Structure 1
Amino acid sequence: MMKKLLNIVVLIPVGIVLIVLSVANRQTVTLALNPFNPADSVLSVSSPFFIFLFLAVIFGLVVGSLATWFGQGKYRKRARNEATEAVKWHAEAEKHRTRAETIASQTLLPATSR
């Protein structure tokens, strides 16, 4: 319930801001990718300005996510190694526990039969 409320409180204002940006930046602009001849139509794209704004935000989100993912790789590797080691130690402890139970049951049987 709290998560749904938080999503509504965050997503509605973000949606409103995106709609306002889209309406305010409807004019067509040309993005020229040829710095020596900006009039070259092969390396230029014309579209509403808000599309370029949204593409820049999406590109920034993707680049930031990738940088975070690769930056935290050493921590994920360490967690995998420690999880593997923990499983190994749990198996070892279980093996010793069953061995101790069998030894205890063997030593208790002769004492109770007397």
Structure 2
Amino acid sequence: MWTFLKALVLVPIAILAVAFAVANRQVVSISFDPFSSGAPLLSLTAPLFLLVFFLLSCGVVIGGVASWLGQGRYRQAARRNGAEAREARAESGRLRTELDIQSRQNREAARLAGASAGPLPALELHDAH
């Protein structure tokens, strides 16, 4: 189901991207020299669609990094909560083990106390006349 939905969204986007690339094949000059517009020191010529795709990709990466940095406190809280949960599980296991040991010791002590006391005295029933 997810594969179908992905294809339903991604196929039209891919068709639009290919159509954009075919329609914008003209070569443009990209200058990195803000002081000399006639003969720039740093310039690059590339098809327009490559420039647009490159800038779009840069925007996605910058947005992803900004989002990742902005969520740092949540990742830190998740790590802290996970560590506390692991410690609580370990303590719970340790306490259960201690409780089991104590319970066994109490049963054993009760069994030994019952065996050393001897048989229970018989109850005498009296007729009330």
User: What range describes the TM-score normalised by the shorter chain of this pair?
Assistant: over 0.9
Q: Which residue of 2 aligns with 1:22?
A: 21
Please say if 1:86 is aligned against 2:85. Answer: yes
Q: Residue type matched to 1:102 in 2?
A: I
Q: Which has the larger radius of gyration?
A: 2
Q: Which residue of 1 aligns with 2:34?
A: 35
After TM superposition, give the deviation of residue 22 of structure 1 in Å. Answer: 0.1
SS in 1 for 2:38: coil
Please say if 1:64 is aligned against 2:74. Answer: no
Q: Is the 8 A contact 1:31 1:45 kept in 2?
A: yes
- In 2, the alpha carbon distance for the partners of 1:107 and 1:8 equals 66
Judging by fraction of residues, say which structure has more helix.
1
TM-score by length of 2: 0.82
Q: Which residue of 2 aligns with 1:10?
A: 9
Q: Point out 4+ residue stretches in structure 1 off by more than 4 angstroms.
A: none
Query: Percent same amino acid among aligned pairs?
Result: 35
TM-score by length of 1: 0.92
Q: Which residue of 2 aligns with 1:100?
A: 99
- In 2, the alpha carbon distance for the partners of 1:39 and 1:47 equals 18
How big is each residue's C-alpha offset from its partner over 1:39-94, in whole Å with a ceiling of 9 and x where there is no partner? 32541111110000001100000000000000000000010011001111111111
SS in 2 for 1:29: strand
Q: Residue type matched to 1:28 in 2?
A: V
Q: Residue type matched to 2:47 in 1?
A: P
Long gaps (5+) in structure 2: 115-129
- In 1, the alpha carbon distance for the partners of 2:38 and 2:50 equals 21
- In 2, the alpha carbon distance for the partners of 1:5 and 1:41 equals 49
Please say if 1:76 is aligned against 2:98. Answer: no
Q: Residue type matched to 2:72 in 1?
A: G
- In 2, the alpha carbon distance for the partners of 1:6 and 1:112 equals 68
